[in-house]
Each structure stands twice: as C-alpha cells, then as structure tokens.
Amino acid sequence: MREGSVERNTKETEIKVKVGLDGSGVYQVETGIGFLDHMLEQLSRHSLIDLTVKAKGDLHIDFHHTTEDTGIAIGEAVAKALGDRRGITRYGSALIPMDETLTRVALDLSNRPYLVWKVAFSKPKLGDMDTELFKEWFQAFAQAAGVTLHIENLYGENNHHIVESCFKGLARALREAIEIDPRKTDAVPSTKGVLGGSL
C-alpha cells in the first residue's frame, strides 16, 4: 500500500492528512468549510484515493489559510505516498461533463510543479466560500505534490458545477496517473531515470 501522512501546524492552521493511493475512495474530511469538505470528498471518491483530513484553522478571519494549507498538506501526503514515483503511469487526463459545464484536466506527476488555471467564475462566492480560493487550493496542491497541472473550464454557467468538475477532473486524472504500469513496475517513467529538476 502506498500511503502518506502529514501533520502541518502553524499559527494559522492545524492539519492532519493521510492518503492511501491504492484505496477505494473512503474518506473522512473535516475542515470546518462545508463546501471544501464536499469537494475533497469528491476528490477521494472519484480518484479511489483513501483520504483523511482533519483541519482547524482561523476561520474567524477568513477561509484562505485553511483552504491553502489543506491543499499543501494533501499534496505533501500524495508526494510521500508516491515516493520515487517508480512504476507509475505518470500522465493522466479527464474530460468532465456536469450538466451544462465541461472541464478538461491534464496532469503530469513530473515532480515539476506548475499550474495552468483557465477557470472563471461569475460570482465572488459559493455559499460562504470565496471563489478565488479554488485557484489557491489547486496551486498549493500542485506545488506540494510536484504536479504539472492544467485545468481549463471549456464552458459552463453554474459556478458550483464549474468547481465540482475541476475537482472531479483532478480526481480522474490522478486515478489514471498514479496507476502502476504493469509493463514497467520497476522503472521511473523518465529517460533521466529520475523525476523532477530540469526538463
């Protein structure tokens, strides 16, 4: 079992995360932010990554620190679980329809973090959560997990659908990329023999 655990404690947040890459999508998520909980549950369910998240943050200020630090902690846990990334498929992509919305996600578990975010919202908030925080979550996750991550909402009107399709797209692309390639179980998927660093 490829597993990773992280505890992240700052003056702003206290977060415990555990992931199991070879799981069945079992989750227990408590961040204090209802909408973020819902999105992380989608991430677990559709990636089949078991996910436990317990976060306490300075929500009396705003949701920024908890959102960003949760992305960092989950990304760090995924990176730990991947280890040297030997045997993985490495690349993954997904095209996710959700009613009137269509979102494309492509990623490379390259250990070279980068986010391309082509997603726009028509409202500043979803429930109590600022929509600008979703980019912060994906940026934090990509940086900490060592993922080159491209997310593009091709079209859509409902902001809930747009956000949810982004998380489901990440989930399905991750599910593909973390799979062990049965033809190369002992090899790092790079001509360099190591992932990360220069191209």
Look up the domain containing 166 and give its range.
Answer: 3-177
Q: Give the confidence band of 103 by pLDDT, cuts at 50, 70, 90.
A: very high
Amino acid 39: pLDDT: 97
Please determine, for residue 28, whether its predicted confidence score (pLDDT) is greater than 50: yes
In a domain, 188, yes or no: no
- The pLDDT of residue 12: 95
Phi-psi domain of 24 (left: phi exceeds 0; alpha: psi -120 through 50; beta: other): alpha
Percent of the chain with pLDDT over 70: 93
What whole-number distance in Å separates Cα of residue 105 and Cα of residue 134? 15
Q: Is residue 183 included in any domain, yes or no?
A: no
pLDDT band at residue 199 under the 50/70/90 scheme:
very low
Examine residue 195 and state whether it is found in any structural domain, yes or no.
Answer: no
Which CATH number covers residue 124?
3.30.230.40
Evaluate whether residue 194 is within a structural domain. no
- Is residue 127, in this structure, part of any structural domain at all? yes
- Residue 190 is given by DSSP the state S
- Cβ atoms of 86 and 32 closer than 8 Å: no
Half-sphere exposure of 135 (CA within 13 A, CB side): 12
The count of structural domains within the chain is 1
170: in domain: yes
Residue 159, in any domain of the structure: yes
pLDDT at residue 161 tops 50: yes
